[in-house]
Amino acid sequence: MIAMLQRVSQARVDVAGEAVGAIGAGLLVLVCAERGDTEQEADKLLAKILKLRIFSDDAGKMNRSVQDIGGGLLLVSQFTLAADTSSGNRPGFSQAAAPDEGRRLFDYVVERARALHPVVQTGRFAADMQVHLVNDGPVTIPMRMAPPAQAGAAA
């Protein structure tokens, strides 16, 4: 699974002019399921997201997690994170999970996040969304949890 984390002072997702999810300070997380991903990768990714220390402590050092600060989590599905731009000028998306599997894994991440964190909002899967954010820092961090077969091949 792939995620793009953005530390925000606020973020909102609109669909057809209606806000469907919004948070104050916290993390906007774009999430992409890839072919072969399972709940195991989703669990690892979510655990890392919730514990990643990218919020400032009293000394101004990145030393607090979204859980430590009680921040919001805005999860937005985004299959384009799996874009392959290695050849030509048109990205390919063959590594993205099929839509049904992508929805299942995204829904799983949302369900687990809501069980583990008090403030979780979402976009709308497969919708044309407008994402509004104020990136705090800016801090933007890419994350990838590869399925076991891919993880071994990358080593």
Q: What is the pLDDT of residue 62?
A: 97
Q: Which residue type is seen at 108?
A: Y
Going from N- to C-terminal start, the domains of the chain cover: 2-142
Where are any strands of DSSP class E within the chain?
A: 2-15, 18-23, 26-32, 55-56, 62-64, 72-77, 120-122, 129-144
80 is catalytic: yes
| Neighbouring C-beta atoms of residue 5, cutoff 10 Å | 21
Q: What is the pLDDT of residue 149?
A: 61
Count of residues making up the chain: 155
134 Cβ neighbours under 8 A, 6+ residues apart = 8, 9, 10, 11
79 is catalytic: yes
93 is catalytic: no
Q: Give the active site residue among 6, 78, 121, 122.
A: 78
| pLDDT one digit per residue (tens) for the chain, 155 residues | 999 999 999 999 999 999 999 999 999 999 999 999 999 999 999 999 999 999 999 999 999 999 999 999 999 999 999 999 999 999 999 999 999 999 999 999 999 999 999 999 999 999 999 999 999 999 999 999 986 565 555 44
What's domain 2-142's superfamily in CATH?
D-tyrosyl-tRNA(Tyr) deacylase (3.50.80.10)
Catalytic residue among 10, 55, 67, 79: 79
